[in-house]
A and B are shown apart, each in its own frame.
Chain A
Amino acid sequence: MIKFRLDPGSGVATYLQLVHQVKHALRLGELMPGDQLPTIKEVVGDLAINPNTVAKAYRELEREGLVAGRPGQGTFVQLSLRGGSTADHARFRRDLAQWVRACRAAGLGQGDMEALFASVLADSSQQEIA
């Protein structure tokens, strides 16, 4: 079960913070299809926030097809945001770690690598569109 936390200084609306945290957990595999989200009462009893805020976040996740409410039971994860199989993830992670080591050896810093990765990602999606 996921536990929410709030960043009051972030300037991001509270319901969006909840949405982002669920999506993040879905991407990392911390939440899998069939897992239950905490009930609205549990979330507000923990964070002291308005129940409508949690309901709004859950509605948004429901609208995107990521979770579904089951009457009398709660809200459950429908979809994983994680593409590919677990084995694929392990392999790509290894490849990427190797790439990071090679970059470091060549004197690239974290910012250089992030920029490079973002740029290659952008190029690749451009090519897919074209």
Chain B
Amino acid sequence: MKAARAQEMSGRDPGEPHSPAALEAVRLTKRYRGTWALRDCTLSVPAGRVVALVGPNGAGKSTLLHLVAGLIAPTRGGIRIFGEPVGQRAAALARVAFLAQDKPLYGGFTVAETLRFGRHLNPGWDDALARQRLAELDIPLNRKVGKLSGGQRAQLALTLAVAKRPDLLVMDEPLANLDPVARHDVMRSLMAAVAETGMTVVMSSHVVSDLTDACDWLVVLNGGHVQISGEVDELLAAHRMLTGPAELADGIAARIPVIGDSRSGRQAVLLARTGPGTPSHDPRWRVSGVSLEELVLAYLRHPDATVLPRPALTAT
């Protein structure tokens, strides 16, 4: 608690150069029988980030999250959490909480019994934190889990994960099957928990708009490969939407990387990585910023384009 408050005052400054990455994968590969779920994934995420893991169905998101949580072993390559290799070691696993997509809870348990269960299973369990969260959320302790609403079940599952006091919280599609109000409520309480604890969060979703303001790091998986890994603000600053005459579009594409290209008649709309060739002063081109959703869609439609800054130096 004290450390959290100190962070609050000094302003959180994630990504200190000397602290180990929260998550580091080197050539991580997972094959199920004949199919490659993940292939040579290399990425590094600084501590204190809230990471959006996005990609189409079957891109390898769940596989990556299960590898991070130590629930499955890689076919090849390695993964480290805060500098420690993920394996069967209990010490490393105690730092990670994993929230599965189907949020497995026992419907016959009451909320209080569920907390007791969590306390017995987790050495670092923070019961006061769990009870405080549930009180704030107006979830009665004597209610049977099976009688809770979908939003309340999601909040209870999140509470169990947070009360473990993990340094890394991994969530597979935490917002799936929730209505818009419940999605916003879960996100609000997750962000408050992040502010309080400073934990790193990795969460997957295929709905980018759910994650836009909550996440400050983006990882895009496509076809088992890492297509983008980077800070959201930097990614948005490095891309522009260019609207102008279609006959000049090929000239632009020859000078700077164009990821999205849609043309209708005489007009072209290009999503481009900005660089020296960006026509910022050419009045024939209107230059505007891009949203995270536009950026993700353009890259997913263009699987050969990648943004992978600073390859990790620590090979294993």
- Which residues of A pack against B, CB within 8 Å? 6, 8, 11, 13-14, 39-41, 44-56, 58-59, 62, 69-75
The 5 closest A-B pairs by CB, nearest first: A45-B192, A44-B191, A48-B187, A51-B195, A41-B195
| Cα(A49)–Cα(B50), bound, Å | 10
**Nearest CB in chain B to that of A56: its residue:** B11
Q: Which of B183-215 contact A (CB under 8 A)?
A: 184, 187-192, 194-196, 212-215
Task: Indicate which residue in B12, B188, B196, B288 contacts A48 across the interface (CB closer than 8 Å).
Answer: B188
**Which of B48, B196, B213 neighbours the largest number of chain A CB atoms within 10 Å of its CB?**
B213
- Collect the chain A residues with CB atoms within 8 Å of residue B216's CB: 50, 52-53
Q: Does A44 lie within 8 Å of B194, measured CB to CB?
A: yes
| Cα(A46)–Cα(B184), bound, Å | 10
Q: Can you list 5 A-B contacts with CB-CB less than 8 angstroms, sorted by A residue number?
A: A40-B12, A44-B192, A44-B195, A47-B213, A50-B214
Q: Does B10 lie within 8 Å of A48, measured CB to CB?
A: no
Task: Indicate which residue in B9, B187, B188, B288 contacts A69 across the interface (CB closer than 8 Å).
Answer: B9
Q: Does A55 lie within 8 Å of B9, measured CB to CB?
A: no
**Nearest CB in chain A to that of B186: its residue:** A48
**Nearest CB in chain A to that of B213: its residue:** A49
| Cα(A82)–Cα(B138), bound, Å | 42
**Nearest CB in chain B to that of A62: its residue:** B11
**If A55-B11, A58-B11 touch, does A49 touch B289 (CB 8 Å cutoff)?**
no
B143 at the interface (CB under 8 A from A): no
- Collect the chain A residues with CB atoms within 8 Å of residue B48's CB: 52
In this complex, how many residues of chain B approach chain A with their Cβ under 8 Å: the count is: 31
- Which residues of B pack against A, CB within 8 Å? 5-6, 8-14, 48-50, 184, 187-192, 194-196, 212-216, 233, 236, 288-289
**If A13-B233, A50-B50 touch, does A45 touch B191 (CB 8 Å cutoff)?**
yes
**Nearest CB in chain B to that of A49: its residue:** B213
- Collect the chain B residues with CB atoms within 8 Å of residue A45's CB: 188-189, 191-192, 195
| Cα(A55)–Cα(B13), bound, Å | 8
**Which of A44, A55, A59, A62 neighbours the largest number of chain B CB atoms within 10 Å of its CB?**
A44
| Cα(A8)–Cα(B191), bound, Å | 18
Q: Does A47 lie within 8 Å of B188, measured CB to CB?
A: yes
**Which of B9, B10, B190, B212 neighbours the largest number of chain A CB atoms within 10 Å of its CB?**
B9
Task: Indicate which residue in A11, A39, A51 contacts B191 across the interface (CB closer than 8 Å).
Answer: A51
- Collect the chain A residues with CB atoms within 8 Å of residue B14's CB: 52
**Nearest CB in chain B to that of A6: its residue:** B213
**Which of A40, A46, A74 neighbours the largest number of chain B CB atoms within 10 Å of its CB?**
A40
| Cα(A11)–Cα(B294), bound, Å | 13
**Nearest CB in chain B to that of A73: its residue:** B9
**Nearest CB in chain A to that of B188: its residue:** A48
**If A47-B213, A48-B214 touch, does A40 touch B195 (CB 8 Å cutoff)?**
yes
- Collect the chain B residues with CB atoms within 8 Å of residue A44's CB: 188, 191-192, 194-195
| Cα(A41)–Cα(B188), bound, Å | 10
- Collect the chain B residues with CB atoms within 8 Å of residue A49's CB: 191, 213-214
- Collect the chain A residues with CB atoms within 8 Å of residue B194's CB: 44, 50-51
| Cα(A58)–Cα(B6), bound, Å | 15
Q: Does B6 lie within 8 Å of A71, measured CB to CB?
A: yes
| Cα(A48)–Cα(B288), bound, Å | 26
**Which of A56, A62, A70 neighbours the largest number of chain B CB atoms within 10 Å of its CB?**
A56
| Cα(A45)–Cα(B186), bound, Å | 10
**Closest Cβ–Cβ distance, residue A40 to chain B (whole Å):** 5
- Collect the chain A residues with CB atoms within 8 Å of residue B12's CB: 40, 51-52, 55
Q: Does A41 lie within 8 Å of B8, measured CB to CB?
A: yes
